[in-house]
Amino acid sequence: MARDRAKACELDQEKYDADENVKIICLGDSAVGKSKLMERFLMDGFQPQQLSTYALTLYKHTATVDGRTVLVDFWDTAGQERFQSMHASYYHKAHACIMVFDVQRKVTYKNLSTWYTELREFRPEIPCIVVANKIDADVKVTQKSFNFAKKFSLPLYFVSAADGTNVVKLFNDAIRLAVSYKHNSRDFMDEVLQELENFELEQKEDDGPGQGQQEGTKSLAAS
Amino acid sequence: MMCTAKKCGIRFQPPAIILIYDGEVKGKSRQRIMPVRNFSKFSDCNRAAEQLKNNPRHKSYLEQVSLRQLEKLFCFLRGYLQGQSLTETMEQIQQERTIDPEEDLNKLDDKELAKRKSIMDELFEKNQKKKDDPNFVYDIEVEFPEDEQLQSCGWDTESADEF
């Protein structure tokens, strides 16, 4: 198991350390519209890359934030959510998270807490946006309060992948949050691991446990 | 062959799918009667629809008629053969095409999940604003005021531990 995990991390995730790269992950139940949101944002520009070995879909996008070019990788689940849990490498080095539920299906809202718990296990500090999708089906939901977002002080966006309401705003804001997290992060574990990684690299490449692992090491060891 | 489909319906006795369309001569509607053969109250409507749509003699006429519509027409015929009233059949079709909001789709197999997705896609396509629509806007921002007056979504539990 630990071996598998280390292997999956080799999916060139090193690049996410580079200044201009950010990784944004999508979470949420089956059929809440994660891919449809991606496609609405990227329109024709989307060129998803299926990585079936890892059960994930990658969407690449180039954005400009404050005059600087940012290379964004959006990670989409490709059915992995069916296991009610994502592979650890999915969370590895992510800079922001877009967490989606379907306003027509209560169960997808209830499951947010499972997704959120898992996210925080691996990425305790990254910005996370809660997304209420499919408001075109019933626009009255936008008049309602959803306590989940409030409870964890997360921003809540009402969107529709079908008619496009707030989709572009959602993604642009997510990119901004990811960039700003990356540049201002005072995430203690991130820093410690960064130090550790540099240190180990100086010594020599070693395949020992913990090397190249994410800041979730502590919880991983516990699980 | 140029053919613009106008209407498509079903005749119960003798059973036939009937298409009203505009042919090559402009402004002149034509009618095509496609007899339904070997169909009983036990038949599979989806399959029957697929067979008709791929029938070499009718194929070109039915290009603009969706598989979903044909399937629905066959469901009406099957309901009739089963002795149901039109309203009963309509309710039945409605029910089969509705998502149970309580159902956890994470637990379904690929086939069942695909079925649910196709039901949801119907609404998606109905509400979809496509890039080539004349009034398409890429970036639509709508503010939904967040004030104290908001009603609860009803999905949150009262207890402090849960949300």
Per-residue model confidence as pLDDT tens digits over B85-125: 999 999 988 888 888 888 889 888 888 888 899 889 988 99
Note whether A50 contacts B: Cβ–Cβ < 8 A.
no
Judge contact between B28 and B4, C-beta under 8 A.
no
Number of structural domains in chain A: 1
- Return the structure tokens found at A95: 């800079």
Give the number of beta-carbon pairs within 8 Å between A and B: 103
What's the rounded mean pLDDT across residues A139-161?
93
Provide the pLDDT for residue B42.
94
CA distance B67 to chain A (A): 22
Q: Do the chains contact at B163 and A82, CB–CB below 8 Å? A: no
Rounded-to-integer distance, Cα A23 and Cα A92, Å: 9
**pLDDT grade for B24, boundaries at 50, 70 and 90:** confident
Note whether A158 contacts B: Cβ–Cβ < 8 A.
yes
pLDDT in tens, A40-63: 999 877 677 777 667 788 999 999
Q: Which run of H or E residues covers position A97? A: strand A96-102
Over chain B, what is the mean pLDDT? Answer: 88
Residue A156 belongs to domain spanning: 2-222
What's the rounded mean pLDDT across residues A21-47?
91
ipTM surpassing 0.90: no
Chain A, nearest residue to B126 by Cα: A162
Provide the pLDDT for residue A4.
46
What's the rounded mean pLDDT across residues A22-28?
96
| Chain A residues in contact with B117 (beta carbon < 8 A) | 31
Rounded-to-integer distance, Cα A137 and Cα B4, Å: 31
User: pLDDT at residue B21 above 90?
Assistant: yes
| Secondary structure letter of residue B5 according to DSSP | E
Q: Which of B105, B116, B139 sits opposite A168 (nearest CB)?
A: B139
CA distance B50 to chain A (A): 26
pLDDT in tens, B121-145: 988 999 999 998 888 999 999 998 7
A85 or A153: which leads in pLDDT? A153
Q: Do the chains contact at A31 and B117, CB–CB below 8 Å? A: yes
Provide the pLDDT for residue B136.
93
Rounded-to-integer distance, Cα B48 and Cα B137, Å: 40
Provide the pLDDT for residue A221.
40
Rounded-to-integer distance, Cα A187 and Cα A181, Å: 9
User: pLDDT at residue A211 above 60?
Assistant: no
User: Could you tell me which of B118, B42, B116 has the C-alpha nearest to residue A105?
Assistant: B116
Domain of residue A42, CATH code: 3.40.50.300
Region of poorest pLDDT, from A85-99, A103-117, A198-212, B138-152: A198-212
Note whether A51 contacts B: Cβ–Cβ < 8 A.
no
Note whether B116 contacts A: Cβ–Cβ < 8 A.
yes
**pLDDT grade for A212, boundaries at 50, 70 and 90:** very low
Provide the pLDDT for residue A187.
60
B99 or A70: which leads in pLDDT? A70
**pLDDT grade for B31, boundaries at 50, 70 and 90:** very high
**pLDDT grade for A223, boundaries at 50, 70 and 90:** very low
Rounded-to-integer distance, Cα A107 and Cα B7, Å: 39
Angle between the N-to-C axes of helices B67-81 and B86-96, in degrees from 0 to 180, rounded to the nearest 10: 130
User: pLDDT at residue B45 above 90?
Assistant: yes
Which is it for strands B29-35 and B16-22: parallel, antiparallel or unpaired?
antiparallel
What's the rounded mean pLDDT across residues A106-123?
95
Largest CA distance in chain A: 60
**pLDDT grade for A10, boundaries at 50, 70 and 90:** very low
- Return the structure tokens found at B47: 């399959």
SS3 B156: coil
pLDDT in tens, A92-105: 999 999 999 999 99
What's the rounded mean pLDDT across residues B64-80?
94
Concatenate the DSSP letters of all residues of A104-158 into one string.
T-HHHHHTHHHHHHHHHHH-SSS-EEEEEE-GGG-GGGGGEE-HHHHHTT--EEE
B81 or B162: which leads in pLDDT? B81
Over chain A, what is the mean pLDDT? Answer: 83
Q: Do the chains contact at A158 and B163, CB–CB below 8 Å? A: no
